[in-house]
């Protein structure tokens, strides 16, 4: 008996994959696997109801803790892609690993997903799965299916597919972010209405301040109250979302070269990333900050590609770990006008001394202000010299042209 484990959400794509895997690929049994990375409860109810209607063996795996850990690792790397916090990208490898575990436990011969051939997720899933000895199947991609064809097929097969917003938008929600795409949002010039948003209110004139505590680069408390990662993220999503924090409307460059319109909500992620980077600015030297920007960019790119287990990531995280031992302290964040703005920061590791920086003190320790005169004289010396040399050379060229151009008649 042949078996295949399917990444199963209960939505249109994965629902039509069930009979297709049996009819087109000849599998005797399809095992549905839904992985919990913080989706709404309604999505699990839909998946379970659909699985029951299909008489599908169905597993639900709780991977919220693993995903939350990945999200907070991304904070230490200041991870964003083209300006927005990584969310779906970080979730996919976690989901893929969980599905692969279920597939192996149930003696499956293959794993399958419902991704199209145009998106990023197919690559993120398969980067994990192709390291195993199981076959990898992508019915929607391999058969070139469209949403219209799937709807007609579901109707012909009397598959338990509900309409709802999935007919208008494609929505992906996890603990860290919520993405909305499709429908009118595919037009770059379309201005979306407030109804696409669920986590964030439209920004108002209200404000609120909170204090975040970090230890070794990880957020551990809000307003002095210690919180576990999942609870902390959920709390900040709710609080920051009330002030319209964490909305992104962008044109995103996918891995396959397509440019797509994406809308995201990420209140907690925006808040934590802003706070973390602010604390780093207090405790790291300029050289560390400049170099870490390069490291963070590489980490973010690999995270976006779903290659979180790449050898390069181990090397990058080695540097990040070394810097984060001093990223301990507090940051005060003010929510206002859709922003999570840092307004205060404090750490025992601050590379800062108020008496040195103050305008009310004369000297910097044993360094007098007059000591800066020599530095000021040398600063820009090469630039001034180069400008002088160029000016002199240009003057000589002009003289040569003038001397050699005699237009008078003999």
Cα separation, 14 vs 112, whole angstroms: 9
Cα separation, 295 vs 214, whole angstroms: 21
Place of tokens 């040195």: 356
Q: Where are the beta strands (DSSP E) in 147-206?
A: 170-173, 178-181
170: annotated binding-site residue?
Answer: yes
264: annotated binding-site residue?
Answer: yes
Cα separation, 6 vs 114, whole angstroms: 8
Could you tell me the two tokens for 173? 């929600």
383: annotated binding-site residue?
Answer: no
Instruction: With CA atoms as reference, report the closest residue to 39 among 204, 200, 194, 234.
Output: 234
12: annotated binding-site residue?
Answer: yes
Place of tokens 């990420």: 266
The dihedrals phi and psi of 266, each to the nearest 5 degrees, come to: -160, 65
384: annotated binding-site residue?
Answer: no
Cα separation, 17 vs 21, whole angstroms: 6
Catalytic residues: 13, 92, 121, 170
127: annotated binding-site residue?
Answer: no
81: annotated binding-site residue?
Answer: no
Cα separation, 96 vs 91, whole angstroms: 9
Place of tokens 């000849």: 26
285: annotated binding-site residue?
Answer: no
Cα separation, 243 vs 62, whole angstroms: 30
Pairing, β 170-173 against β 135-137:
unpaired
84: annotated binding-site residue?
Answer: yes
Cα separation, 34 vs 310, whole angstroms: 25
Cα separation, 405 vs 59, whole angstroms: 90
Report in angstroms the alpha-carbon separations of 29 from 4, 95, 262.
7, 21, 36
368: annotated binding-site residue?
Answer: no
Could you tell me the two tokens for 305? 């590609």
Cα separation, 101 vs 94, whole angstroms: 11
DSSP 263: E
Residues 6+ apart with CB under 8 A from 110: 2, 3, 4, 5, 27, 103, 134, 135, 136, 137
Helices (H) and strands (E) in the chain, counts: 14, 16
134: annotated binding-site residue?
Answer: no
Cα separation, 77 vs 79, whole angstroms: 5
252: annotated binding-site residue?
Answer: yes
363: annotated binding-site residue?
Answer: no
Task: Could you list the residues known to form a binding site for L-aspartate, using ranges.
Answer: 116, 120-121
Task: Could you list the residues known to form a binding site for L-citrulline, using ranges.
Answer: 84, 120, 124, 170, 179, 252, 264
Task: Could you list the residues known to form a binding site for ATP, using ranges.
Answer: 7-15, 114
Task: Could you list the residues known to form a binding site, using ranges.
Answer: 7-15, 84, 114, 116, 120-121, 124, 170, 179, 252, 264
């Amino acid at each position: 008996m042949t078996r295949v484990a399917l990444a199963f959400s209960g939505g249109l794509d994965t629902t039509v994959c069930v009979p297709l895997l049996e009819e087109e690929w000849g599998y005797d049994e399809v095992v549905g696997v839904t992985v919990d990375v913080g989706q709404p409860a309604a999505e699990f109810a839909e998946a379970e109801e659909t699985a029951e209607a299909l008489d599908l063996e169905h597993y639900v795996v709780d991977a919220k803790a693993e995903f939350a850990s990945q999200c907070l690792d991304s904070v230490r790397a200041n991870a964003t892609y083209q300006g927005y916090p990584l969310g779906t990208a970080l979730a996919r490898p976690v989901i893929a690993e969980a599905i692969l575990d279920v597939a192996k436990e149930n003696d499956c011969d293959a794993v399958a997903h419902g991704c199209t051939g145009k998106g990023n997720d197919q690559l993120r899933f398969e980067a994990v799965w192709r390291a195993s000895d199981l076959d990898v199947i992508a019915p929607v991609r391999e058969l070139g299916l469209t949403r219209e064809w799937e709807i007609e097929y579901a109707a012909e097969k009397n598959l338990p597919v509900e309409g709802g917003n999935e007919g208008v938008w494609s929505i992906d929600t996890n603990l860290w972010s919520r993405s909305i795409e499709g429908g009118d949002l595919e037009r770059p010039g379309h201005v979306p209405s407030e109804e696409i948003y669920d986590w964030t209110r439209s920004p108002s004139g209200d404000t609120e301040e909170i204090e975040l505590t970090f230890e070794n680069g990880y957020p551990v408390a809000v307003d002095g109250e210690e919180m576990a990662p999942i609870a902390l993220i959920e709390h900040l999503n709710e609080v920051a979302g009330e002030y319209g924090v964490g909305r992104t409307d962008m044109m995103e460059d996918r891995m396959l070269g397509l440019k797509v319109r994406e809308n995201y909500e990420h209140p907690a992620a925006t808040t934590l990333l802003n706070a973390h980077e602010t604390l780093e600015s207090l405790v790291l030297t300029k050289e560390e900050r400049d170099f870490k920007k390069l490291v963070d960019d590489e980490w973010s790119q690999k995270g976006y590609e779903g290659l979180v287990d790449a050898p390069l990531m181990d090397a990058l995280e080695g540097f990040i770990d070394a810097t984060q031992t001093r990223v301990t302290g507090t940051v005060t964040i003010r929510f206002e006008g859709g922003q999570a703005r840092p307004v205060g920061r404090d750490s025992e590791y601050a590379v800062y001394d108020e008496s040195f920086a103050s305008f009310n003190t004369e000297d910097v320790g044993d360094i007098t202000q007059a000591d800066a005169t020599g530095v000021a004289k040398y600063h820009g010396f090469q630039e001034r010299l180069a400008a002088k040399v160029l000016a002199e050379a240009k003057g000589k060229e002009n003289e040569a042209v003038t001397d050699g151009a005699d237009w008078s008649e003999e």
